[in-house]
């Protein structure tokens, strides 16, 4: 059994301890420097932002033109068919997810022997399933027998 007592605080690093003060001093020195210096910072910032915006416009125009070229190859009925198929797959995946979550949503005791359960690390397959389903998956093991099971719940956003 572990002894309870007063826990010693770990010493904080200098930067963590005085982060606020160092930031304030840095801002003061930066402000003084900008008041004293003779550079045309506003001009350089304007040119930098202008180049970024022109580059973004160029990239988006290339992506948009490539998208238009691809779309022109398909007929309207093909595009509608693809969209309807994707909506159908989405609906099936959503109902499958809800049924899997309701199937594995309750796990209090071991269903085999009634013993207590303890959490164990999830397998890679369970981690991938949690990402695909957008759900929390908890992996449990029985303390008495060799039962292993999962509990699923919806992720709260």
Q: Which of 141, 88, 93, 133 is nearest to 115 (CA)?
A: 141
The model scores a pTM over 0.85 = no
pLDDT at 97: 85
pLDDT string in tens for the chain (157-residue length): 556 667 777 777 888 888 899 999 999 998 888 888 777 778 888 899 999 999 999 999 999 999 888 888 888 888 889 899 999 999 998 898 888 888 888 888 888 888 888 889 988 998 898 888 888 889 899 888 888 888 888 877 6
Note the pLDDT of residue 4: 66
On whether the CB atoms of residues 111 and 92 are closer than 8 A, the answer is no
Give yes or no for a contact between 147 and 141, defined as CB atoms under 8 angstroms apart.
Answer: yes
Burial of 110 (0-12, 13-18, 19+ CB in 10 A): buried
- Tokens representing 145 are 């027998």
């Amino acid at each position: 059994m572990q002894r309870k007592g007063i826990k010693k605080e770990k010493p904080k690093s200098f930067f963590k301890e005085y982060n606020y003060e160092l930031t304030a001093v840095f801002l003061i020195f930066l402000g003084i420097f900008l008041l004293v210096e003779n550079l045309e910072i506003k001009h350089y910032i304007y040119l930098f932002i202008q180049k970024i915006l022109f580059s973004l416009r160029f990239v988006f125009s290339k992506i948009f033109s490539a998208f238009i070229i691809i779309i022109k190859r398909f007929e309207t009925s093909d595009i509608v068919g693809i969209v309807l198929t994707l909506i159908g797959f989405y609906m099936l995946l959503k109902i499958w997810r809800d049924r899997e979550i309701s199937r594995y949503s309750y796990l209090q005791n071991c269903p085999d022997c009634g013993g207590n359960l303890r959490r164990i690390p999830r397998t890679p397959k369970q981690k991938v399933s949690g990402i695909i389903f957008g759900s929390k998956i908890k992996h449990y093991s029985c303390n008495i027998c060799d039962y292993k099971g999962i509990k699923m719940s919806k992720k709260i956003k």
